[in-house]
A and B are shown apart, each in its own frame.
Chain A
Amino acid sequence: MRLTPGQTLASIAVMAIVTFLTRAAPFLLFDRGGEPPKVVLYLGRVLPPAIIAMLIVYCLRGVSFASPAGWIPAAVSCAVVVALHLWKGNDLLSIFGGTVLYMVLVQAVFG
Chain B
Amino acid sequence: MDTMEWIILNRRTLAAAFPVTIPVLMGYLAIGMAFGLMLQSAGWGVGWAFLMSLTMYAGSGQYLGVSLLATGASLPQAAFLTLMINFRHLVYGLSMLEKFRGMGKRKLYMIFSLTDETYALLSSVKVPEGVEERDYYFCIAMLDQSYWIAGSVLGSLLGSALGFDTTGVDFAMTALFFVIAVGQWRAAGSHLPALLGGAATLISLLLVGAEDMLLPALGVIVIALVLLRPRLDKTGQEVPQ
Binary contact readout B136-162 vs A (1 if CB under 8 angstroms, 0 otherwise): 000000000000000000000000000
Report which B residues bind A (CB closer than 8 A): 26-27, 30-31, 34, 43-44, 48, 51-52, 55-58, 60-61, 64-65, 67-69, 72-73, 75, 78-79, 82-94, 96-97, 100-101, 107, 111-112, 114, 165-169, 171-182, 184-185, 188, 191, 193-198, 200-202, 205, 210, 213-214, 217-218, 221-222, 225-226, 229, 232-233, 237-241
Q: Is the interface of A mostly helix, strand, loop or mixed?
A: helix
- A39-B226, A49-B193 are known contacts. Are A22 and B86 too (CB-CB below 8 A)? yes
**Residues from chain A with Cβ under 8 Å of B60 in the complex:** 55
A11 lies within 8 A of B75 (CB) = yes
- Option from B65, B89, B180 in Cβ contact (under 8 Å) with A52: B180
What would 16 more interface pairs be, CB under 8 Å, given A54-B217, A92-B26?
A12-B51, A15-B61, A15-B79, A16-B56, A19-B57, A19-B58, A19-B82, A27-B97, A39-B229, A45-B238, A49-B191, A53-B194, A58-B201, A78-B178, A98-B174, A103-B169
Q: In the bound complex, what is the Cα–Cα distance between A98 and B172 (angstroms)?
A: 8
- Option from A14, A36, A48 in Cβ contact (under 8 Å) with B82: A14
- Option from A20, A23, A61 in Cβ contact (under 8 Å) with B210: A61
B198 lies within 8 A of A53 (CB) = yes
Residues facing B in A62-79 (CB within 8 A) are: 62, 73-74, 77-78
**Residues from chain B with Cβ under 8 Å of A25 in the complex:** 89-90, 93
Q: In the bound complex, what is the Cα–Cα distance between A40 and B87 (angstroms)?
A: 10
Q: In the bound complex, what is the Cα–Cα distance between A103 and B97 (angstroms)?
A: 43
**Residues from chain A with Cβ under 8 Å of B184 in the complex:** 48-49, 52
- Option from B78, B185, B225, B239 in Cβ contact (under 8 Å) with A50: B225
- A30-B97, A31-B97, A99-B172 are known contacts. Are A48 and B87 too (CB-CB below 8 A)? yes
- Option from A8, A43, A53 in Cβ contact (under 8 Å) with B181: A53
**Residues from chain A with Cβ under 8 Å of B69 in the complex:** 3, 8, 11
**Residues from chain A with Cβ under 8 Å of B239 in the complex:** 45
A selection of 27 A-B contacts at a CB cut-off of 8 Å is A11-B65, A12-B48, A18-B79, A42-B232, A44-B87, A45-B238, A47-B87, A48-B87, A50-B193, A50-B225, A51-B221, A53-B194, A54-B217, A57-B201, A57-B217, A58-B213, A61-B205, A61-B210, A78-B174, A85-B182, A92-B30, A95-B30, A99-B34, A99-B168, A99-B171, A102-B171, A103-B168
Q: In the bound complex, what is the Cα–Cα distance between A52 and B181 (angstroms)?
A: 6
- A11-B69, A86-B182 are known contacts. Are A50 and B194 too (CB-CB below 8 A)? yes
Pick the 7 closest A-B CB pairs, nearest first.
Answer: A26-B93, A50-B197, A53-B197, A48-B240, A103-B168, A53-B198, A57-B201
